[in-house]
Structure 1
Amino acid sequence: MSRPRSGTLIVKTDYSLDVVLRDQLRYLAGTPLAPVRTASDDSGRLERVRQREGVETHVLSLERDPAPATDLRTLAQLIRLMRDVRPYRVIYGTPKATLLGGIAAWVCRVPVRIQILHCLRLETTTGILRRFLLETERLAIRLATHTVAVSNGLRDRLGELGVDVSGVDVIGKGSVVGVDRDRAGTIGSDQVLRAAQRERVGADDDEVVVGFVGRVTRDKGIEELVRAVAALRDVGTRARLVLVGQDEGVDDLADDVRAALDAPWVTRAGNLADPAEVFAAFDVFCLPSYREGLPTVVLEAWATGVPVVATSCTGIVDLVEHGATGLLVEPHDDRALAAALHRMIDDEALRDRVRANAFTEVDEHFDRVGVWERCARYFLDAQPARRARKT
């Protein structure tokens, strides 16, 4: 007789486990979802995750980009793991983890298969690749017993693309991780930390620091961001651009942008083990993406007290209300972005207003403890039969 199924297996990247799900894994392990196990790649983070979160970790050969031989090996690893540990539910997110995790869980007949839809990569693709990615989204939803979109806008956009979203849920006002409001508030009010972080990124006392946290790639609007900050400097603003995140496409950027990235007024900090403290160095946070799901980095900026300038793309418009909790411009428009940054830097009353409104939004909807509680209830209530959408 087979052993009874129990517990939860979470399939993610090791970066997500270490940074995005920091402390949340430990919280989930203290609920009836336990035992909580994880499966991910390992770039050197998993031992820290295991010790800090107190969960069992398993290593996969997981790569972000398509790699058929590696992907088949990863799928076999997942099937063996699920047959060995026999989880009652599997939770998976990110494009690669979603497809491979969903197939493995379906093959192994895991009763509850929860897909977390974080973004739509296909929004910035065309042609055959776009059609292929659209079909993988449809397949992922069919393989899952439950699909959770991290924002209403993301779910609506998927529906506009022709996918049946009648069974796609959004928990609360969106997000499945939230933000540590108390820690971020402490970071934002610590002047000693601010001075140390500004020194770390090479900012002089009289420089305005425009910060970005995310993948350094075209889809994140890096070209427009670099050109916008350069435009600020051309009109006399002593602005420094600080880019925090992994290089995932600098070589594909335009020649003028690649050249500017080597300028003395640009700091490329790379990946940080814990990027939360670097927000203390920022005067404005800018996210000029072409697509998002519901960006946690905006929540981090809000909770730290950093005003936000961003683009009106999917996911961001679910968070930022223009003029109330930040400023929005259309994607791909570096002139409008420069103007919005200039306005935010020069208008103290605007900065004060958006800080206050943004912190209220975090306090009411996105503090991590409340988000974790709502997610845990959803995961526990999820039954093998697909349920109707709830909001």
Structure 2
Amino acid sequence: MKKILYLITSSEYGGAQKYVHDLAVNLPPTDYQAIVAAGQGDGELFNQLANFPAVKTIKLFNLQRLPLPLTAWRCLKEIVKLLIQEKPEVLHLNSSVAEFLGSWAAKIYKKKTKANLKVIYTVHGWVFLEPGFGKSLIYLLVEKISAQWKDVFIVLSQHDLQIGLRKKISPKNKLVKIYNGLDIQSLYFLPKEQALKILPAQFQKNNLPIIGTIANFYASKGLAFLIKAMALIRKNFQFSEYSPIPCRKQSSASEASRSLFSIFNLLIIGDGPQRKNLENLIAKLKLNDCIFLAGRMPSAAQYLSAFDIFVLPSVKEGLPYVILEAMAAGAPIVATNVGGLPELIENGKSGLLVEPKNPIALASAIERLLNNPEQQKSLAENAKQQAGKFGLDQMLNQTYQLYN
């Protein structure tokens, strides 16, 4: 039986963790043993894996985002010790800290033990594309140094494949494109009225369109740009001959009058290190009455039915699951033109794509949909059809072939 060790930096549950979860729980148990090791976080990844006793889980206490040098050194030794203990045939790395320290640890382990260990790294968006010029150069250098310790790079989009080649990260024969996939049939979305109960009472009563997103609160997710776009919409929104989204019937003239001022609710599901900064920005722009930060929610995708428009304002992406889920839910989508998103969304047909870091462009696209229910419907129907092309089985089979 072949051991596959999945290593990921954080134990919170985001797209990269869903990817690891899906690969680990679907491994044929007669041929493979799955081991998932993760670092700091809220432990939701471990909670999601608890129902799968065949998957062994291990917490690494020194593995964390942006570790100090001493912590990174301790983590390196912790991973080497784990490799010696588990003796996997394949080490499958996910996320930037885990991939650098994990591939370095694999190099040390192989030199010590002469073991035959295959090292695979899935690129969930190249880390050197993160905001910040100085950091980008350092990350690019680290990526190039550690590339020699890896056997295969899995990229999730043609976009990332081309960047890997252009930046000379790795030879072409080590780069493999495998799209993320969803088991569409197993997805469950709450009835709209039930999903709306996630909102505080005052939001439920104001009968306004709900613009929403699901994201971890990292700078790369671009949530500050979305909040700034909401301020622009509130200030400048102009109604066309179309009426706004008819999401819920207004019960009084006073509510209708208030809706002309407020225009929308923004619901953000998620949490993370940028939360305080986002709260301060919301307060500064006087948007507390129309923006709700819901925190992390288990099985967050089930609440997509609450959204009249789904927005992903990311600065950097790989091939995000949340967009596939929003497409499958039949939500009209506005997203940034980054990473693999143009490979999922055809601009103007299955969603609207705008340039990243641009609140004006985001606001314009959202206003366009607020004013055009027919376009919302058309985009949503086309997106739902497109989501069916990204199946889980295809992703699993292509990835498992690399383990042999």
TM over 0.5: yes
Contact 2:131 2:315 in 1 (8 A): no
CA distance in 2, matches of 1:249, 1:198: 21
Give the alignment of 1:239-254 within 5 angstroms.
239-251=264-276
Cα distance change, pair 50–256 in 1 and its aligned pair in 2 (3 A): closer
Contact 1:19 1:274 in 2 (8 A): no
CA distance in 2, matches of 1:288, 1:171: 24
Alpha-carbon displacement from aligned partner over 1:271-315 (angstroms, at most 9, x marks no partner): 223211221211111111111111111111101111110111222
Which of these residues, 352, 367, 370, is aligned with residue 394 of structure 2? 370
Contact 1:155 1:168 in 2 (8 A): no
CA distance in 2, matches of 1:214, 1:201: 23
Residue type of the alignment partner of 1:328? L
Give the alignment of 1:380-391 within 5 angstroms.
380=404
TM-score, structure 2 normalization: 0.83
CA distance in 1, matches of 2:391, 2:73: 39
Contact 1:153 1:314 in 2 (8 A): yes
Cα distance change, pair 351–100 in 1 and its aligned pair in 2 (3 A): same
Contact 1:106 1:143 in 2 (8 A): yes
CA distance in 2, matches of 1:297, 1:45: 17
Q: Which shifted more, 218-227 or 85-94?
A: 218-227
Secondary structure of the structure 1 residue equivalent to 2:148:
helix
Contact 1:19 1:273 in 2 (8 A): no
1:50 CA drift (Å)? 4.5
Give the alignment of 1:71-110 within 5 angstroms.
71-109=72-110, 110=116
Give the alignment of 1:62-73 within 5 angstroms.
62-73=63-74
How many residues of Structure 1 are paired with residues of Structure 2 in the alignment? 369
Contact 2:197 2:204 in 1 (8 A): no
1:146 CA drift (Å)? 0.6
Contact 2:158 2:177 in 1 (8 A): no
Contact 1:289 1:310 in 2 (8 A): yes
Cα distance change, pair 44–118 in 1 and its aligned pair in 2 (3 A): closer
CA distance in 2, matches of 1:355, 1:128: 40
CA distance in 2, matches of 1:308, 1:227: 18
Residue type of the alignment partner of 1:332? K
1:251 CA drift (Å)? 4.8
TM-score, structure 1 normalization: 0.85
1:358 CA drift (Å)? 1.5
1:367 CA drift (Å)? 2.4
CA distance in 1, matches of 2:194, 2:349: 28
In the other structure, the counterpart of 2:36 is 38
Which of these residues, 283, 292, 299, is aligned with residue 274 of structure 1? 299
In the other structure, the counterpart of 1:211 is 212
CA distance in 2, matches of 1:104, 1:238: 53
Residue type of the alignment partner of 2:326? A
Cα distance change, pair 325–50 in 1 and its aligned pair in 2 (3 A): closer
Secondary structure of the structure 2 residue equivalent to 1:325:
coil
Cα distance change, pair 339–166 in 1 and its aligned pair in 2 (3 A): same
CA distance in 2, matches of 1:125, 1:99: 19
Residue type of the alignment partner of 2:69? P
1:181 and 2:184 matched? yes
Contact 1:212 1:243 in 2 (8 A): yes
Which of these residues, 134, 149, 159, is aligned with residue 153 of structure 1? 159
Contact 2:226 2:359 in 1 (8 A): yes
1:370 CA drift (Å)? 3.1
Alpha-carbon displacement from aligned partner over 1:42-61 (angstroms, at most 9, x marks no partner): 53436524521221111102
1:162 CA drift (Å)? 4.2
In the other structure, the counterpart of 1:163 is 169
Q: Which shifted more, 368-377 or 269-278?
A: 368-377
Contact 1:187 1:277 in 2 (8 A): yes
1:155 CA drift (Å)? 1.9
CA distance in 2, matches of 1:200, 1:322: 36
Contact 1:6 1:86 in 2 (8 A): no
CA distance in 1, matches of 2:347, 2:90: 39
Contact 1:210 1:239 in 2 (8 A): yes
Identity %: 23
Secondary structure of the structure 2 residue equivalent to 1:7:
strand
CA distance in 1, matches of 2:92, 2:312: 28
Bigger Rg over Cα: 2
In the other structure, the counterpart of 2:263 is 238
Q: Which shifted more, 311-320 or 21-30?
A: 21-30
Unaligned runs of 5+ in 2: 111-115, 238-259
Alpha-carbon displacement from aligned partner over 1:168-196 (angstroms, at most 9, x marks no partner): 43444x22xx2231243x416x3453343
Secondary structure of the structure 2 residue equivalent to 1:246:
coil
Contact 1:179 1:303 in 2 (8 A): no
